[in-house]
């Protein structure tokens, strides 16, 4: 069974504070376990628990991990953190998502772990709240907990995956990336391209009309091997800002629905693109979906620059209709 972590919200801030203090790893035994498990697997499921009571009593964790400041302070601190990262008590998410939200939204612990005005002894807060340790840890970047992919490894993976692609009669691709390839082509991107193998795939398809495409779920290695957001363990996309594959999966399903196809479909690439260009003349509403301020987990770059992506796709579509000699 996959490991899971149950964590008090404040403990994630303590990790950052400890590193900002100059420690290679936290001294506290529980924090040390959390630190090591997240470093080993940034996508480990983390459940955020606190002593909320009431309708949230199902996830109450007891006072074992309370710091000495008292019940009220501990609960207020946890709730302040949950409010700032806009997550409810009891939620379980990959550690990566939670940490990116913390880095994005909590740049200082002022007013969270300590207060400008001390109203009584029970509200003194943490003695390190004004030390600047958390802020120093935050400035170091999320890489102190989530190690990015090695550049040399990504370069080698690109070479290996392209070698396989150039020998393949069937290229495995997740559906929405077929549209991304058109968008890239319309935007002038040509090989070599470091982050993925889509430009190289398009050149293969231009030169060889007999190549087939297999529509597959998730981020297949053949196309995504060199991507900095590729998670080799899960064969999945961890996404920009650690949002993981939610939006990419939805884009895949949008494409499949428009085409009337399913995962596993194998089809001649030119024939497949003929159907794509007929049924998806624009990516608006398919890949480039409007962003909503409240939908942080579903935020997407294609929706952020909606007009640009629509224009590039439409340009690339016209260019590739000619390149593929389609009607």
Residue 299 has pLDDT above 90, yes or no: no
User: pLDDT-based confidence at 306, cuts 50/70/90?
Assistant: low
Between these two residues, 327 and 77, which has the higher pLDDT value?
77
How far is residue 52's CA from residue 85's CA, in Å, rounded to a whole number?
Answer: 17
Convert the chain into a string of H (helix), E (strand) and C (coil). Answer: CCCCEEECHHHHHHHHHHHHCCCCCCCCHHHHHHHHHHHHCCCCEEEECCCCCHHHHHHCCCCCCCCCCCHHHHHHHHHHHHHHCCCCCCCEEEHHHHHHHHHHHCCCCECCCECCCCCCHHHCCCCCCCCCHHHHHHHCCHHHCCCCCCHHHHHHHHHHHHHHHCCCCEEEECHHHHHHHHHHHHCCCCCCCCCCCHHHHHHHHHHCCCCEEEECCCCCHHHHCCCCCEECCCCEECCHHHCCCHHHHHHHHHHHHHHCCCCCCEEEHHHHHHHHHHHCCCCECCCECCCCCCCHHHCCHHHHCHHHHHHHHHHHHHHHHHHCCCC
Whether residues 166 and 297 fall in one domain: yes
Residue 220 has pLDDT above 90, yes or no: yes
Neighbours of 59 (CB within 10 A): 17
Q: Domain span at residue 237? A: 151-323
Indicate the average pLDDT of the chain.
Answer: 94
Most confident of 219-228, 234-243, 297-306: 219-228
Whether residues 104 and 166 fall in one domain: no
Residue 300 has pLDDT above 70, yes or no: yes
Q: Which residues contact 12 (CB under 8 A, 6 or more apart)?
A: 34, 81, 98, 99, 102
Whether residues 137 and 30 fall in one domain: yes
Tokens of 102: 């913390």
- Nearest-Å Rg of the Cα atoms of the chain is 24
Whether residues 37 and 162 fall in one domain: no
* Bond into 192 cis (ω within 30): yes
Between these two residues, 186 and 291, which has the higher pLDDT value?
186
Q: How many domains does the chain have?
A: 2
Whether residues 82 and 211 fall in one domain: no
- Considering only 173-187, 241-255, 261-275, which range has the smallest mean pLDDT? 241-255
Between these two residues, 245 and 260, which has the higher pLDDT value?
260
Interval 266-281 mean pLDDT: 98
Whether residues 157 and 119 fall in one domain: no
Interval 24-33 mean pLDDT: 93
Whether residues 128 and 14 fall in one domain: yes
User: pLDDT-based confidence at 240, cuts 50/70/90?
Assistant: confident
Question: Would you call 37 exposed, middle or buried from its count of C-beta atoms within 10 A (0-12, 13-18, 19+)?
Answer: middle
CB 212 within 8 A of CB 172: no
**Percent of the chain at pLDDT above 90?**
85
Interval 115-142 mean pLDDT: 95
* Boundary (domain end) residue, out of 144, 171, 186: 144
Distances (CA, A) of 257 to 50, 227, 262, 263: 41, 26, 8, 11
Question: Would you call 237 exposed, middle or buried from its count of C-beta atoms within 10 A (0-12, 13-18, 19+)?
Answer: buried
Whether residues 69 and 211 fall in one domain: no
* Boundary (domain end) residue, out of 144, 179, 200: 144
Whether residues 18 and 166 fall in one domain: no
- Considering only 32-36, 84-88, 295-299, which range has the smallest mean pLDDT? 295-299
Interval 83-93 mean pLDDT: 97
Note the pLDDT tens digit of each residue in 175-196.
999 999 999 999 999 999 999 9
Interval 210-215 mean pLDDT: 98
User: pLDDT-based confidence at 301, cuts 50/70/90?
Assistant: confident
Whether residues 241 and 125 fall in one domain: no
Interval 311-318 mean pLDDT: 94
Whether residues 113 and 165 fall in one domain: no
Question: Would you call 293 exposed, middle or buried from its count of C-beta atoms within 10 A (0-12, 13-18, 19+)?
Answer: exposed
- Considering only 38-42, 138-142, 242-246, which range has the smallest mean pLDDT? 242-246
End-to-end CA distance of the chain: 52
How far is residue 87's CA from residue 56's CA, in Å, rounded to a whole number?
Answer: 13
Whether residues 9 and 67 fall in one domain: yes
Between these two residues, 24 and 321, which has the higher pLDDT value?
321
User: pLDDT-based confidence at 267, cuts 50/70/90?
Assistant: very high
User: pLDDT-based confidence at 313, cuts 50/70/90?
Assistant: very high
User: pLDDT-based confidence at 48, cuts 50/70/90?
Assistant: very high
pTM above 0.85, yes or no: yes
* Boundary (domain end) residue, out of 126, 144, 162: 144
Given the structure tokens 């997740």, which residue do they identify?
174
């Amino acid at each position: 069974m996959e490991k899971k972590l149950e964590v008090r919200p404040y403990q994630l801030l303590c990790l950052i504070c400890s590193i900002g203090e100059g420690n290679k790893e936290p001294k506290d035994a529980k924090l040390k376990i959390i630190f090591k498990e997240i470093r080993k697997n940034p996508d480990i499921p983390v459940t955020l628990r606190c002593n909320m009571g009431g309708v949230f009593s199902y996830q109450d964790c007891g006072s074992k991990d309370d710091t000495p400041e008292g019940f009220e302070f501990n609960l207020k601190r946890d709730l302040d953190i949950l409010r700032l990262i806009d997550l409810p008590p009891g939620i379980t998410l990959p550690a990566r998502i939670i940490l990116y939200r913390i880095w994005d939204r909590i740049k200082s612990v002022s007013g969270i772990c300590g207060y400008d005005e001390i109203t009584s002894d029970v509200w003194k807060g943490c003695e390190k709240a004004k030390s600047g340790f958390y802020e120093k840890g935050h400035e170091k970047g999320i890489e102190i907990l989530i190690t990015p992919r090695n550049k040399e490894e990504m370069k080698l993976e690109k070479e290996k995956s392209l070698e396989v692609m150039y020998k393949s009669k069937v290229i495995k691709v997740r559906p929405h990336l077929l549209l991304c390839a058109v968008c890239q082509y319309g935007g002038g991107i040509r090989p070599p391209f470091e982050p993925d193998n889509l430009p190289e795939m398009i050149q293969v398809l231009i030169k060889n009309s007999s190549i087939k495409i297999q529509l597959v779920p998730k981020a297949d290695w053949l196309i995504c091997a060199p991507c900095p957001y590729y998670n080799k363990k899960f064969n999945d996309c961890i996404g920009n800002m650690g949002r993981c594959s939610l939006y990419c999966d939805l884009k895949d399903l949008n494409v499949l629905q428009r085409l009337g196809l399913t995962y596993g479909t194998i089809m001649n690439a030119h024939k497949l693109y003929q159907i794509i260009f007929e049924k998806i003349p624009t990516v608006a509403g398919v890949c480039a979906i409007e962003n909503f301020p409240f939908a942080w987990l579903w935020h997407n770059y294609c929706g952020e620059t909606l007009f640009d992506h629509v224009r590039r796709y439409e340009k690339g579509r016209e260019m590739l209709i000619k390149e593929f000699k389609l009607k």
